[in-house]
Amino acid sequence: MADTSSLEARVGELEERLRALEDRDAIAQLVASYGPAVDSGDADAAAELWSDDGVFDVVPYFELVGRDGIAGMVNDDGHQSLIHNGCGHVLTAPKVVVDGNEARGWNYAFNIRWDGAADRFWIARLSANEWEFRRDRGGWHVVRRTNVNLDGDERPRALFRNSTEPLGGVS
Amino acid sequence: MADTSSLEARVGELEERLRALEDRDAIAQLVASYGPAVDSGDADAAAELWSDDGVFDVVPYFELVGRDGIAGMVNDDGHQSLIHNGCGHVLTAPKVVVDGNEARGWNYAFNIRWDGAADRFWIARLSANEWEFRRDRGGWHVVRRTNVNLDGDERPRALFRNSTEPLGGVS
Amino acid sequence: MADTSSLEARVGELEERLRALEDRDAIAQLVASYGPAVDSGDADAAAELWSDDGVFDVVPYFELVGRDGIAGMVNDDGHQSLIHNGCGHVLTAPKVVVDGNEARGWNYAFNIRWDGAADRFWIARLSANEWEFRRDRGGWHVVRRTNVNLDGDERPRALFRNSTEPLGGVS
């Protein structure tokens, strides 16, 4: 029969490993929440994904700061026109590396637009994305999201290169 | 040294938290199974993802009911023609909220078609999807899937708005 | 109060179930790492995803063998030209079935290319993918990845049909 102290060590290790998986899952859910929030035009839901001082950097077009900045983008005439013409902000499942209360992630973001006359959609943009996340009392939030179109420029390659060193989250 | 009853409480909490992650993973796998099933033309595999009385509502075109309904769609001439011309039913990783033996999810579904003459694919449809899942003795199954094209209509926005209240699954 | 041996059994079961989830997560991360590695042109990072003797079979074009083969593809003029013209290798979250130290997975891979004149991207290829993974001392690696364009041919359907028997990973 196992003694209590060896069992306690095993339980402690389980708690740590489970927490790591929960963190990765919460962050993946945060990323999966972005598209439905902005494509339904829900400015508050989109804003709540970011931290109070969070940044959304859409290189080289504009940089949004804070939840008001995010909400403003969703309520803006440009975005409202997009969703009323038909569009999809489709994000892929991210690669994520967690380090305590901070984390980083990388994925792709499609900006897709409906063309009723052609009876199909066009991929207006396909962007490399880098995310910085932070855990606070309300859970995980986005501290910074950087989005750069994959148009052959060096910037999206540099951004994705950050994901490959180290491969800490994979093994 | 820890006493047995405090250890037991920690083990009980671990069991509950692990079950929550297993549920979310099983549901994500269910969703990831749809595309390969229909694009290989495997009617039974597609049908088994749904519950006996499950519904697939492809707004506003048709509503399939039960496993026979799902299997019938896959075996139908229209679908067989699609997969023999080249197509992909590509679903993204869902946002999922679990509540006991029930769950809901939201994601995007691409309907993509090969055009050999143009040597490329077209995005025929990009749809907002809402899923209802139920756990029974055989595991998690789809009780209802609603699919609406993101063509600017209010319906896909209303469907995605369901995903943002509350943000229960994120924090 | 629980006795120690029944607690130990519960802890043992937790360890096994947690390991199963960790395996599935590590494999999903491996797959999510591919796109950012090749689209940033990082040949070593892409090569490290495979095992020493791993294979990447791009049916019917070419078959790469070993890490040198993978790295060679990334450093090749053809791939370098692609990423400098703008492209995205976008992979979806896989369906995964784990069996001890081996696993298999199925997902979709987009090959997307930027067209500056048209101000949009084209989907050059959308492929059915089957993956074989193996766990070794360094963690999970790709032993074989098979990629076939979904152009209506029987081969991608046959490949995806492997994913539906059995549905071991879903329930």
Would you call C86 and A152 a contact, using CB atoms and an 8 Å cutoff?
A: yes
Q: Which residue of C has its CA nearest to A127?
A: C88
Q: What percent of chain A has pLDDT over 90?
A: 92
Look up residue A147 and give its two tokens: 């989005």
Q: How confident is the model at residue C170 (pLDDT cuts 50, 70, 90)?
A: very low
Q: What is the pLDDT of residue A156?
A: 98
Q: Out of C36, C49, C83, whose CB is closest to A106?
A: C36
Q: Out of C122, C150, C164, whose CB is closest to B45?
A: C164
Averaged pLDDT, C64-70:
98
Residue A6 φ/ψ, nearest 5 degrees: -75, -35
Counting beta carbons within 10 angstroms of the beta carbon of residue C100, is it exposed (0 to 12), middle (13 to 18) or buried (19 or more)?
Answer: exposed
Would you call A126 and C88 a contact, using CB atoms and an 8 Å cutoff?
A: yes
Q: Is the pLDDT of residue A168 over 50?
A: no
- Chain B residues in contact with C10 (beta carbon < 8 A): 11, 15
Which is higher by pLDDT, B1 or C9?
A: C9
Q: Is the pLDDT of residue C1 over 60?
A: no
**CA of C146, closest CA in chain B: separation in Å?**
14
**CA of B137, closest CA in chain C: separation in Å?**
9
Residue B40 φ/ψ, nearest 5 degrees: -95, -5
**CA of A31, closest CA in chain B: separation in Å?**
9
Q: Is the pTM of this model over 0.90?
A: yes
Q: Is the pLDDT of residue C89 over 60?
A: yes
Question: For B75-108, how does the pLDDT look when each residue is reduced to its tens digit (9 = 90+)?
Answer: 999 999 999 999 999 999 999 999 999 999 999 9
- Chain B residues in contact with A116 (beta carbon < 8 A): 151-152
Q: How confident is the model at residue B166 (pLDDT cuts 50, 70, 90)?
A: low
Q: Is the pLDDT of residue C58 over 50?
A: yes
